[in-house]
Amino acid sequence: MEKGIADILARAEERSEALDERDLARLVALAPGSDEEAALFAAAYRVKCRMVGRRVSIRGLIEAGNVCAKDCLYCGIRRSNTRLERYSLGADEIVALARRAKGFGYASVVIQSGEIESEAHTAFIEDVLRRISPLDLGVTLSLGEQSEQTYRRWKEAGASRYLLRIETSSPALYARIHPAGHSWRRRRDCIAALGRCGYQVGTGVMCGLPGQTAEDLARDIVFYRDIGAHMIGMGPWLPHHDAPLKREEGGKGLGDPLALGLRMIAATRLFLHDANIAAATALQALAQDGREKGVLAGANVIMPNITDTRYRRAYQLYDGKPCLGENAELCRQCLDRRLEAIGEKILYNERGDSLRFAASRN
């Protein structure tokens, strides 16, 4: 293994935030299948095990609706996609799914939907949160850009975490993958507002975007620190047949999407030792064992889908989404077996809150 990479990994494993952007860019750009890449994954996994053990936290994913006011050029549920059948779950349905998660031993759920800004939607989510509150679940919201007042209302109603992916920390790259009217600055300001409201703050990026470089991705990892993120949810960018952004336009020289996504997980773990990092569903879209590979590269959170199967085909952000016909019970059993096979254990009946968030409160 190259001496320079060995030195970077040794420093990163010893101390959180020990690397600079140049170091991180070198890790992100390692050749797929190389000894250096294998050493990167091994070092990140050792840090993950040191921080949380050989254990994985679970978030039951509820896809509450695919109505979206945004028109992002990469997304299958973008506003301009007229071929999509839209749906919105009612409050009773969302609460019932939260109860299902509780019954499975999942102590946390994620409520995710397209982005909607209105008083009616704010009040609807507020009501759902108050009805879920007696279940004593950790609740993550992933509902996009909102006013700080809305974020505060939802926090007071019972939400404890919020995931708002920046998608890229580069304003120029952000502008290339969004139409006019979409503001990188506003998205960044919303993430900052979540911190002021007391959430465990989650963000993340897409890896392999058109024109994206290893240096861009290194800056993304530093952005996580600078914005005060406690949770990271990121994955490979995958195209959707009804979205304008196509695969042939994708990032150059960064290797295949799966390997790149895994290197980003590993590099992020080595930079932010105590963050919660998800093994994204997009990894499983690229390889049947993609989520397990994500865990072995340093991730410690998995989000199995508990949405009713009749809705899942209508919530496809990218092509190839896995488990469209697998119900939540089958998914739970499968996940148990898969993680056991790599020596990992699911943390049932534990919320798995971010250690980084706890440290920031001390």
**pLDDT at residue 361 above 90?**
no
pLDDT digits (tens, 9 = 90+) for 182-215: 999 999 999 999 999 999 999 999 999 988 999 9
H helices within the chain, ranges in order?
3-14, 21-28, 35-52, 91-104, 119-132, 148-157, 171-176, 184-196, 214-227, 257-271, 281-286, 290-296, 309-312, 328-341, 355-361
Instruction: For residue 202, give both structure tokens.
Output: 């989650």
Instruction: For residue 303, give both structure tokens.
Output: 């989000």
Instruction: For residue 200, give both structure tokens.
Output: 């465990």
Q: What is the pLDDT of residue 329?
A: 76
Across the strands, what pairs with 203? 232
Q: What is the pLDDT of residue 22?
A: 97
Q: What is the pLDDT of residue 341?
A: 96
Domain boundaries along the sequence of the chain = 3-11+19-361
How far is 151 from 140, CA to CA, in rounded Å? 12
Q: What is the pLDDT of residue 250?
A: 46
pLDDT digits (tens, 9 = 90+) for 314-335: 788 877 777 666 667 777 888 8
How far is 72 from 69, CA to CA, in rounded Å? 10
Q: May I ask the CATH class of domain 3-11+19-361? A: alpha beta
Instruction: For residue 361, give both structure tokens.
Output: 């409160």
Q: What is the pLDDT of residue 74?
A: 95
pLDDT digits (tens, 9 = 90+) for 337-357: 999 999 999 999 999 999 999
